[in-house]
Structures are given as structure tokens and as C-alpha cells.
Amino acid sequence: MDVDTKPKPVVSVPTPDAEKPVVKAEPIAPNVEIKQNLVLIDRAVTTLEPRFTHRVLRTLTHLRKKLNDEVLSKAVEETYTKDSPAKAALFQYLSAPAAMDIDLPNGDAKPQPVVVSDPLPEGDTYIRLLILLHLSASKETTEKAMALAHETVERIQALNRRTMDAIAGKIYFYLARLYEVTDRLAEIRPLLLAAHRTATLRRDADSQATLINLLLRNYLHYNLYSQADKLVSKSTFPDSAGNPQWARYQYYLGRIHAVQLSYTQAHTELLQAIRRAPTAKTAPGFWQTVHKFFIVVELLMGDIPDRALFRQPVLRKPLEPYLQIVRAVRIGDLSHFQSALQTYTAQFQHDKSYTLILRLRHNVIKTGIRSISLAYSRISLRDICTKLSLDSEEDAEYIVGKAIRDGVVEGILDHQKGVMVCGRKGDVYSTAEPGEVFGRRIGFCLELHNESVKAMRFPLNAHRKDLASSEAAREREKSIAKGIAEGEIDDDDEMDF
């Protein structure tokens, strides 16, 4: 039998990907995007749904990169009527002329859409917000941006419309940002306090959350921690605020508690701020700032941060000075700690963490004494002074005595001979520390469970199905009972309940 050894031709079957090449979506023109956002704002006002306004505000990050005088002038020209006074007022803040008709090749003029009426107050405020973003990007137009922001704030307070609350919060934020850039934060504090009082009376949750964070940032900028603490105690942060506002608020609370020596509360607030904050790619600056204070507070609590934290790409370079401090605290090397402190003093002062890092000197000394007590059963104060780089033996004696009294090490201090006799450490489970740690963990788990239950969503009218099934079973029992009473059903009959 002959065998056909000729190879068969391979038939290639085109894949769906080969048939339909991937077509990249063309970017939307900024003017088209502004028109779409205005439509969403009108829908939010008509349907009283603030989610459409929040959707528009989420586009500010990438839209502000496309803004210029020409784009904004065209947007104003296409949004307002021809003889609108608001249109003429906005053109004063723009250097480019209004959009002109463009001649077509056949000599006809390009038709322009006729604007029947001016936009709603919410749309007008949104256009003003876009112009404010464009003006605040340059130092030469800072004064114009301030004038526009103050004028917009006055209009917002005069209109008093709840559908404008989300956009109003953004206006307040960028107004405070302009004062911060020009180093005039103290001047805007009365305006923010008055605006916060008004927002609280009007139950404006969006503006209230934004203004509380702006006031806390204002106070902490000038190291007015007592006034910031009074503001927190006298005000109530709205529960309906978004995660970004909550993250900022808990970050400021963490800083206040850290200065007040409440390290456990500060650690909890900073940890919640990290969890609520956007991703490191979205908000790298906030992510780095919160982790700087989180590391310092964790060191002040006596814990050592995880080393993997310093290997993240976003945190590797900014946390390099704090990594040196962590190494010094971990090994108890006071000379290394002093060297790192002197090298990065300017960085720590810029981060507003220099005062907290100075407190770590006692932690470094305690760690060093604990290491010495584990390595030696008897050591002189002179050797302790040399190993810890202390100034004198009197300082070493005072520090060792305080460490023994606080329970950091177990031993006896012989003043006559100038030595420390180290004893064996007792059973750690005989102390109250494991119970306290276990209690804190249980409290955290319970709080996480309560927050998860609050965040759960249930389908509407799901209980009616159970009511219908139970009602049917009840009617069936009634019919069976009636049948038994009338003698139609015997007790010996099989009844499927």
C-alpha cells in the first residue's frame, strides 16, 4: 500500500484580532468636552442628582492641561448669548479674542450656533472654575485669578443653591491655594471661617468638609496646633464627605495627635488616611507626605516600620532620610542618629517633622541600653557613655536610672562603683502588654466590621419575596386545619408541610 508522504498545505485561519485591527480612540477636543460637562451639570440640576456634578469635577485633572486662552474664549463665546454682561466680564480675564468666524474655501462663512440663553448658575460657575484653573497655572496671572475667585465666591454666597455645593467647594479650595502660593495664608483665614459658618448653617456638606480641611491646613502651616485642636473639637466633619476629603482630615488629625503625644490615636488616624487616600500613582505627593509622618509616629510608639515600605518606587527617594533615622533607632546608634539629623535637617524642617524626630533621641538611647543589657551582665557607666556617645557619665547614670524605673531594662544601678548590673528579664506574658495589644487588635477588627456593615448595599424590596412565601405557607396551614376540622382530611393521611 502506497503512503502519501507529501506534506499537506497548512491553511491559516485568520483570528478575530487579525480581521479587526485595534483602532485607538481619538482624544476628545477640549471644547467638546466642556460642552458635554455643561450638559451633565444641567442634568444634575434638573434631576437633583449630584453624582453628575461629581463626574464632571473628576475630569478637571486632565482637562486643565488642555486649557488655554483660545480654548476658554471659544467656550465662553459658545456658551453665553451675544449681549450677555457675564460674557463681557469673563473676557476681561482672558487675553485671547473671542472666536471669530472662519471663511470656508468657497467664500461662505462658517455657521456659528445661536445661543438662546445664558447657562444656569451652576454652568456659569463651572466656566469660571475652568478660567480660574488656567489663570492659577502662571505666576503672572495670579492677581487676576484671585480677583476672579473672590468674585465667584460672592456670587455663590448670594445665590445659595444646593446644586452648586460641589463646585463651590472647588472654588474655595483653589482660592486658598492661591493665597498659599503667594505666602498670604493668614489673610484668608477670616474669609474661610465666615464661609465655614455659613456652610454649616446651610448644611452644605461639600463646602463644609473642604473648608474644615483648608482651615486645618492654614493653622498647621503656622504651627498653631492648639487652635487646630479647638477647631476639631468645636466642629463636626460631615459623614457624607468623599474619601479624598476624609483622607485629608484624618491626616491633619494624625499630625495634631502626634504633637500632643497621643501616638496611638495619631497612628490610627494616619493609617486610615493611607487607606482612604487615592493610589500612589494618582496622588504621589499626598502618599509620600502621609507616610513620612506615619513612619515617625510608628518609631515614637516603639515599633520599626516594615522595610518593604521603603522599596516602593514612589516612596524610595523621598523616604531616604527617614530610612537613615529608622536604621539609627533600630540599632540604637546615637552617633548615626545625630549624623542623619544634621545631614537632613533642612528636609525635615520642610516636611514639618523635625520636632517629632527630635523626640526619637530618647528612643535611640533606650534601644541602645536594651541592647547593652542583653549583651552584658555588668558594665560600667563609662563604657555605656562611650557606646551611646553620651556627653558625660552623669547623663548616662540619669538615663540608665530612668530606663530601669520605666521597665525598659531590668537591673540595678550601683552608684558607688559606677556600674550597672543587668538582671534577667521576666516572663513577658506576665505583664499587661500582650492583653493591651490583643485588645487593640480586637477593637480594630470590630471597627472594620462596623464600617463594612455600613457600606453594604441591599436590593430594594427583597423582603417582599420572603413575605409572599410566608403568606402562602400560612394560607396552606389554614386550609389544612379547616379540612381536618370538617373531617375531609384524616390524621393518618400524609400531609406535606
Q: Where is pLDDT greater, at 241 or 384?
A: 241
Q: Of the residues 390, 410, 425, which one is the last residue of a structural domain?
A: 425
In a domain, 325, yes or no: no
Q: How confident is the model at residue 445 (pLDDT cuts 50, 70, 90)?
A: very high
Cell numbers linked to 256:
495634631
Number of domains observed in the structure of the chain: 2
So what's the pLDDT on residue 11? Answer: 47
In a domain, 132, yes or no: yes
In a domain, 19, yes or no: no
d(CA 448, CA 221): 32
Residue 492 has pLDDT above 70, yes or no: no
So what's the pLDDT on residue 32? Answer: 79
Q: Of the residues 139, 154, 182, which one is the last residue of a structural domain?
A: 182
- Here the CATH number for the domain that contains residue 410 is 1.10.10.10
Render pLDDT for 296-319 as a digit per residue (tens, 0 to 9).
Answer: 998 888 888 888 888 888 888 888
In a domain, 105, yes or no: no
The domain in which residue 83 lies consists of 27-99+115-182
Q: How confident is the model at residue 31 (pLDDT cuts 50, 70, 90)?
A: confident
Render pLDDT for 197-230 as a digit per residue (tens, 0 to 9).
Answer: 988 888 888 888 999 999 999 999 888 899 999 9
Q: Where is pLDDT greater, at 463 or 56?
A: 56
Q: How confident is the model at residue 123 (pLDDT cuts 50, 70, 90)?
A: confident
Residue 463 has pLDDT above 90, yes or no: no
Cα angle for residues 414, 416, 417 (degrees, 5° grid): 70
Q: How confident is the model at residue 161 (pLDDT cuts 50, 70, 90)?
A: confident
Q: Where is pLDDT greater, at 306 or 83?
A: 306
Handedness of CA 89, 50, 275, 364 (dihedral sign): positive
pLDDT more than 90, % of the chain: 10
So what's the pLDDT on residue 497? Answer: 42
Q: What average pLDDT score do residues 469-477 get?
A: 78
- DSSP 8-state secondary structure symbol assigned to residue 424: -
In a domain, 244, yes or no: no
Contacts of 449 (CB under 8 A, 6+ apart): none
So what's the pLDDT on residue 293? Answer: 92
Residue 249 has pLDDT above 50, yes or no: yes
Residue 107 has pLDDT above 50, yes or no: no
In a domain, 159, yes or no: yes
Q: What average pLDDT score do residues 284-304 get?
A: 88
d(CA 51, CA 82): 31
Q: Of the residues 124, 152, 182, which one is the last residue of a structural domain?
A: 182
Q: Where is pLDDT greater, at 426 or 141?
A: 141
In a domain, 314, yes or no: no
In a domain, 60, yes or no: yes
